Chains A and B, each alone.
Chain A
Amino acid sequence: MGAAMTAVLEQLLNGAQFGVMLFLMAAGLTLIFGIMNLINLAHGSLYMAGAYVAAATFAASGSFLLALLAALAAAVALGAAIEIVVFRTLYDREHLDQVLATFGLILFFNELVRMIWGATALYMQVPAFLAGHVELLSGSPYPTYRLAVIGAGLAVALLLHLLIARTRIGMLIRAGASNRAMVDALGVNVTLLYTLVFALGAALAAFAGAMAGPIFTVESGMGESVLILAFVVIVIGGIGSLRGAFVAALLVGIVDAMGRAFLRPLLASFMSHATADNAGPALASMLIYILMAAILLIRPQGLFPPRGR
């Protein structure tokens, strides 16, 4: 029984670790959508940029902190640049135009990283001070780095909450989300506010990307699978809701991890092993989408639907 408990705990942590990374992505997407009414597929490119810059800086300098800072700085600069060059023309367009233009951006950025860093994937080491394992329960080691990711993700989520709920800029962001025209009329520089929100989203995505570096391979196109899952997260959570994104991200992360680990043995307990071997992984890969469909059937606007829209 002890072994089963540890296995469940381990998967819970894996799920939480994936969940906080999804939250960092989803938070930026949902903020940008909530305030600018913009659907940004290129958000995954900012995640990828964060991962690449972090991996390259870490390999060159050996300092993980420097790598994180470089990733954030690069993504903020890149995010602000594409906001000014491309997105300003897109705010008033239909969602279709936004999807297609940002699709074009993805093709460009995926190719750009191949041109700069080559077609082969980069591997990023776990920083020395976070290498090694922590004993969770007696005799079950868990990688320290993954625990650190969970901690950092939760800390950022808390900071973000404080920023939005307690500061003046957060107040403007909330005001912008509920009534753009009014905020503009009150003399707030909305153009600057938009760029700031975009840069904030870019920083969150890059932070997720930089932390993902030592866990996943750093390669061209790495942002898209995370991006699509982040979409699932904000659809489940309710578009525009940070709280919804947080709950849904952890839910998706944990359901995914549990499904991958336990669905096959579960199926094998009441069907033939060969069938379970085929059906288990297939079902596990579909699980979060089935979860999304089920939640939407009950609540078409997600778990925390935005108010007043």
Chain B
Amino acid sequence: MSVARRSLVIGVSLAALAVAPAIALAAGEPFYVTLLTRIMIFAIAALSLDLILGYGGLVSFGHAAYLGIGAYAVGILAFHGITSGPLQFAVAILASAAAAAMIGAVSLRTSGVYFIMITLAFAQMLYFLAESLNIYGGDDGLNITQPSNFGRLVDLGDPATLYYVVLAVLLVLLLLTRQLINSRFGLLVQGVKSNERRMAALGFPTFRYKLAAFILSGTICGLAGALFANLTLFCSPAIMHWTRSGEIMMMVILGGMGSLFGPVLGAALYLLLETLLSGATEHWQAILGPILVLVVLFSRSGFFGMLTGERTARGRADG
């Protein structure tokens, strides 16, 4: 029954996403197309974090860094007149993978609260790096004059096209990550989460598995960043502000950690809540903050778990 409910929730959500732009444009509200694109981009980022947080137990508090690297890859190349989409996205993916490899290699040597603080510190380092790069606008950020060029067929400058490209990327990633977590690699990573010492005793090189998962996660988040740069046509250090890392983590928890689709719902919930509250009052964060505290204290399995009646990783963790 639970499987059926799960398919129903996912199916309805995706069907709604597929037809949403047509409805929004027919209603003369193009704003919603942009909002939904934004939601899906953050859904990709949250999905990438869920991969290591929900399945690997790695609390990375610096995921905004990869979002920033992806966005700056597009921005910096565009600044130097290189607008080729495939090239920009390749650089974004490689750069975020390289950064994740370096950050992971250092921070995965530790665990627990050290890991949280170190990932946060490295993200902060990249934030200050972006702030000090005066050629690329420093603190003020960098305007991107034209979106990534994918030829005449795919014009990312068109909001509806960008929307469907992002939706397609999200769908592909959802399918791939589902395959991945059920693969040998995915099961090993989950094994490391539940008992690393035992996995090591069985002879598995646990560090390598964790690092591979960490790099994959950072890379997917970097891809989200490249898409984000195309949505906003702007990149600034604010993309990798530490609160952004907190927001991405919050999306995972809101939706339901360790469920892959949960973070998609979480991203939607968080950004819709933010849009609604910020429309209602200037002091919306004074309302959002306590809501988040209450969610953390009292909700055990997130929104997705609530809808499907399943317990997600967090719900299970404390029985």
Mark A residues whose CB is within 8 Å of B. 33, 39, 86, 89-90, 94-97, 99-101, 103-112, 114-115, 224-225, 228, 231-232, 234-235, 239, 278, 281-282, 284-286, 289-290, 292-293, 296-297, 300-301
B109 contacts chain A at the CB level, 8 A cutoff? yes
Write the chain A residue with the least CB distance to B53. Answer: A96
Contact with A along B110-139 (1 / 0, CB 8 A): 101110111011101100110111110000
**Dominant secondary structure of chain A at its interface with chain B:** helix
A28 to B116, CA, bound (A): 18
B61 contacts chain A at the CB level, 8 A cutoff? yes
* List of 9 A-B pairs having minimum Cβ-Cβ separation, nearest first: A108-B289, A104-B292, A107-B289, A289-B125, A111-B286, A285-B128, A104-B293, A111-B285, A231-B117
Given contacts A39-B116, A285-B128, A286-B129, contact A103 B246 (CB under 8 A): yes
**Interface of chain B residues 261 through 289 with chain A (CB within 8 A):** 283-286, 288-289
B132–A282 contact, CB under 8 A?
Answer: yes
Task: For residue A299, give the distance in angstroms from its CB to the closest CB of chain B.
Answer: 10
What would 6 more interface pairs be, CB under 8 Å, given A100-B249, A101-B293, A285-B128? A97-B296, A103-B249, A104-B289, A107-B292, A108-B289, A289-B122
**Interface of chain B residues 1 through 29 with chain A (CB within 8 A):** none
Task: For residue A124, give the distance in angstroms from its CB to the closest CB of chain B.
Answer: 24
**Interface of chain B residues 290 through 312 with chain A (CB within 8 A):** 290-293, 295-297
Please indicate the chain A residues that have their CB under 8 angstroms from the CB of B253 in the complex.
96, 100
A104 to B125, CA, bound (A): 23
Task: For residue A221, give the distance in angstroms from its CB to the closest CB of chain B.
Answer: 9
Task: Say which residue of B118, B125, B291 sits within 8 Å of A296 (CB atoms).
Answer: B118
B109–A296 contact, CB under 8 A?
Answer: yes
Please indicate the chain A residues that have their CB under 8 angstroms from the CB of B117 in the complex.
39, 231-232, 234-235
A228 to B253, CA, bound (A): 22
A106 to B120, CA, bound (A): 16
Please indicate the chain A residues that have their CB under 8 angstroms from the CB of B114 in the complex.
235, 239, 300-301
B133–A101 contact, CB under 8 A?
Answer: no
A97 to B243, CA, bound (A): 16
Count, chain B residues at interface, CB 8 A: 44
A278 to B110, CA, bound (A): 33
A107–B285 contact, CB under 8 A?
Answer: yes
Please indicate the chain A residues that have their CB under 8 angstroms from the CB of B189 in the complex.
none
A97 to B249, CA, bound (A): 10
Given contacts A94-B317, A235-B114, contact A286 B293 (CB under 8 A): no
Task: For residue A119, give the distance in angstroms from its CB to the closest CB of chain B.
Answer: 9
Task: For residue A7, give the distance in angstroms from its CB to the closest CB of chain B.
Answer: 22
Mark B residues whose CB is within 8 Å of A. 53, 59, 61, 106, 109-110, 112-114, 116-118, 120-122, 124-125, 128-129, 131-135, 242-243, 246, 249-250, 253, 283-286, 288-293, 295-297, 317
A296 to B104, CA, bound (A): 12
Please indicate the chain B residues that have their CB under 8 angstroms from the CB of A278 in the complex.
133-135
A101–B109 contact, CB under 8 A?
Answer: no
Write the chain B residue with the least CB distance to A39. Answer: B113
A100–B292 contact, CB under 8 A?
Answer: yes
Task: For residue B94, give the distance in angstroms from its CB to the closest CB of chain A.
Answer: 21
Task: For residue B99, give the distance in angstroms from its CB to the closest CB of chain A.
Answer: 13
Write the chain A residue with the least CB distance to B294. Answer: A104
Task: Say which residue of B61, B242, B283 sits within 8 Å of A111 (CB atoms).
Answer: B283
Given contacts A89-B297, A228-B124, contact A99 B61 (CB under 8 A): yes
Task: For residue B262, give the distance in angstroms from its CB to the closest CB of chain A.
Answer: 15
Task: For residue A181, give the distance in angstroms from its CB to the closest CB of chain B.
Answer: 19
Question: Could you list some 26 contacts between A and B, CB below 8 A?
Answer: A39-B113, A39-B116, A95-B116, A96-B59, A99-B61, A100-B250, A100-B292, A103-B246, A104-B296, A105-B293, A106-B289, A107-B288, A108-B293, A228-B120, A228-B121, A228-B124, A228-B242, A231-B121, A235-B117, A282-B132, A284-B132, A285-B125, A285-B132, A286-B128, A293-B122, A297-B109
A240 to B166, CA, bound (A): 45
A300 to B112, CA, bound (A): 12
A239 to B116, CA, bound (A): 12
Write the chain A residue with the least CB distance to B126. Answer: A286
Please indicate the chain B residues that have their CB under 8 angstroms from the CB of A297 in the complex.
106, 109
A115 to B281, CA, bound (A): 12
Task: For residue B279, give the distance in angstroms from its CB to the closest CB of chain A.
Answer: 16
Write the chain B residue with the least CB distance to A293. Answer: B106
A301 to B242, CA, bound (A): 24
Given contacts A111-B286, A278-B133, contact A235 B121 (CB under 8 A): yes
A232–B59 contact, CB under 8 A?
Answer: no
Task: Say which residue of A103, A239, A300 sits within 8 Å of B250 (CB atoms).
Answer: A103
Task: For residue B62, give the distance in angstroms from its CB to the closest CB of chain A.
Answer: 10
Please indicate the chain B residues that have their CB under 8 angstroms from the CB of A99 in the complex.
59, 61, 116, 246, 249
Task: For residue A309, give the distance in angstroms from its CB to the closest CB of chain B.
Answer: 11
Please indicate the chain B residues that have their CB under 8 angstroms from the CB of A109 in the complex.
289
A231–B120 contact, CB under 8 A?
Answer: yes
Task: For residue A257, give the distance in angstroms from its CB to the closest CB of chain B.
Answer: 15
Write the chain A residue with the least CB distance to B292. Answer: A104
Please indicate the chain A residues that have their CB under 8 angstroms from the CB of B246 in the complex.
99-100, 103
Given contacts A282-B129, A286-B128, contact A232 B116 (CB under 8 A): no
